[in-house]
Structure formats: structure tokens, C-alpha cells
């Protein structure tokens, strides 16, 4: 199954997660989590340290076997058709750096081959241009600055034209100017390519600027969900940051009806 052999369907969400669970002994790291990411939508997956964000993302990426529940990418059941589902998604995070001894072009080429991209040279060339990497194409990735590495990681994540993009703190190590440029690029992916994006961040101002919707996770459960502009006021908070802090410190008082 190649990355491009099936056309994304507009009427099914890019991602549907239903009653997802991950248990480690008595600990429910992820506990009956259900949500969707539609095409063209940027959804923020927020929560304090240890809330279950990375565990959720790793299950969506097929890296961790869920204890229960279902993941569908572009309508395709990850468990039943793993290759086809994963061909529709990609991922970027600061902690998954590309091999530092390979150049930017070599890295992109190797990942394109791994993803079964049909037009490897064209695709790599287009993304090198799009992410302003032409002058760095022959440079080893290990020598790049954080901002440059983030741009390469995003280019790599788009090689297979994913309909779902998972971004774990994509701007974490960037200066404010580089972070703004990267945010602009990612917003562009959602609007022009109709990519569904699941974004984790601890920067609430960034989340307010970028995300169409947020999910606030605590102790493995989704406690709150809504638009970042209106959610704080609905729960008596002045800002998303204030609401986040309240959820982090007193998760039970922030619990939505029916979430218990």
C-alpha cells in the first residue's frame, strides 16, 4: 500500500479516536478518550505533565498497542489495516531528530523511499524549496540550528502528503521569530492542504493563536473541550492559561458534566 494510493474522503474525519485506553498495571495513562480531528482543523491536545498526551499520540501512530478502543485515520481502522492507515499520517517532534550524519536532502530522500513516495526527486525538491532549505540541502542535519531542524522535520512529515499530521510541541525549542514562522507554515497546511492537525503544546498563547479547538486532558481523561477563544469564559477563567492551571491543580473541580 503506497502513501498515495487512496484518495482521502472529505466526509470522514482525518482522525477519529473512540474510547481509547492504555493501562500500565493499575495506572490508566489514557482512560476512555474519544475525539475527532476534521480535515483542515487544528486541534490542540493539552494537559499537564503526565496527563497522557504522548501516550495518546503513540497509540495513534501505532507505536503503542491500546488496552482498549479504536483509532481510525481517514476512516481506516488502524488495527485492521495498519499500513493503509499509517500511510495517511505523519509526525514531527523535537525529540525525534533526523539522523545527524546525513544531509538534509539525503534524509528527505531516505524517508521518501521508506514512505513509498512515487515521485521522490520531485517531492523532495518541492519541499526543500517550500521550507526554504535550498541553501542547506547539502548540510548534515546534525549541524543545523533548532529552527532549521524543525523546518526539515516538517518537510519530512509532509513527504507522504498526510491527511493527518501529529505535532508534539513543534515550536518548543524555537526563538519567538522562528516559532511564528513555523506556526504560519502549519496553519497554511491546514487551510491550503486540508490537513487535519493534532498539536501538543504547553504554550497557551500559541495554542490560542493556532488551534481551532482544544482538548484538555488530565489523568488520562478529557476534562474540557472547546474553542480556545470561548472555553475559558465558559468555565469562569480569564484565559486559557488560567483554565489550564486550574485543571492541572484541581482536575475534579473542572470536570465537565458526564465526564466522570
Residues forming the site for ligand ATP (CB under 6 A): 24, 27, 29, 47, 49-55
Contacts of residue 104, defined as CB under 8 A and 6 or more positions apart, other chains included, come to: 128, 133, 136, 137, 138, 139, 141, 144, 152
Q: How far is the CB of 51 from ligand ATP (least distance, A)?
A: 4
For ligand ATP, which is the closer residue by CB, 124 or 247? 247
CB nearer ligand ATP, residue 52 or residue 170: 52
Q: Which is nearer to ligand ATP, 62 or 125 (CB)?
A: 62
How much is the CA Rg of the chain, to the nearest whole Å? Answer: 18
- What is the C-alpha to C-alpha distance for residues 44 and 169, in angstroms, rounded to an integer? 10
Q: Which is nearer to ligand ATP, 31 or 148 (CB)?
A: 31
CB of 241 to ligand ATP, least distance (A): 15
Q: How far is the CB of 135 from ligand ATP (least distance, A)?
A: 34
Q: Smaller CB distance to ligand ATP: residue 46 or 85? A: 46
Min dist CB 191 to ligand ATP, Å, is: 28
Rounded Cα distance between 85 and 70, Å, is: 12
Query: Looking at beta carbons only, is 51 or 155 nearer to ligand ATP?
Result: 51
Nearer to ligand ATP (CB atom), residue 117 or residue 197: 197
Q: Output the smallest distance, CB 214 to ligand ATP, in A.
A: 14
> Cβ neighbours of residue 41 under 8 Å, at least 6 residues apart?
14, 190, 196, 197, 212, 213
Amino acid at each position: 500500500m503506497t502513501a498515495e494510493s487512496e484518495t482521502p474522503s472529505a466526509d470522514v474525519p482525518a482522525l477519529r479516536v473512540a474510547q481509547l485506553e492504555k493501562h500500565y498495571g493499575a495506572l490508566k495513562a489514557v482512560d476512555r478518550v474519544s475525539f475527532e480531528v476534521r480535515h483542515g482543523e487544528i486541534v490542540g491536545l493539552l494537559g499537564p505533565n503526565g496527563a497522557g498526551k504522548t501516550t495518546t499520540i503513540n497509540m495513534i501512530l501505532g507505536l503503542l498497542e491500546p488496552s482498549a478502543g479504536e483509532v481510525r485515520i481517514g476512516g481506516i481502522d488502524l488495527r485492521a489495516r495498519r499500513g493503509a492507515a499509517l500511510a495517511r499520517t505523519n509526525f514531527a517532534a523535537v525529540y525525534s531528530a533526523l539522523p545527524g550524519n546525513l544531509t538534509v536532502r539525503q534524509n528527505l530522500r531516505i524517508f521518501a523511499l521508506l514512505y513509498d513516495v512515487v515521485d521522490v526527486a520531485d517531492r523532495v525538491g518541492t519541499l526543500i524549496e517550500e521550507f526554504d532549505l535550498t541553501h542547506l540541502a547539502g548540510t548534515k542535519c546534525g549541524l543545523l540550528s533548532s529552527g532549521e531542524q524543525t523546518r526539515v522535520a516538517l518537510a519530512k512529515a509532509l513527504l507522504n502528503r498526510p491527511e493527518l499530521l501529529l505535532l508534539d510541541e513543534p515550536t518548543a525549542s524555537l526563538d519567538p521569530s522562528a516559532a511564528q514562522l513555523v506556526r504560519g507554515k502549519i496553519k497554511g497546511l491546514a487551510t491550503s492542504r486540508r490537513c487535519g492537525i493534532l498539536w501538543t503544546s504547553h504554550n497557551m498563547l500559541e495554542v490560542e493563536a493556532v488551534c481551532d479547538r482544544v482538548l484538555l486532558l488530565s489523568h488520562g481523561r478529557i476534562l474540557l473541550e472547546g474553542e480556545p477563544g470561548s472555553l475559558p469564559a465558559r468555565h469562569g477563567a480569564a484565559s486559557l492559561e488560567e483554565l489550564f492551571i486550574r485543571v492541572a491543580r484541581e482536575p475534579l473541580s473542572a470536570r465537565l458534566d458526564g465526564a466522570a
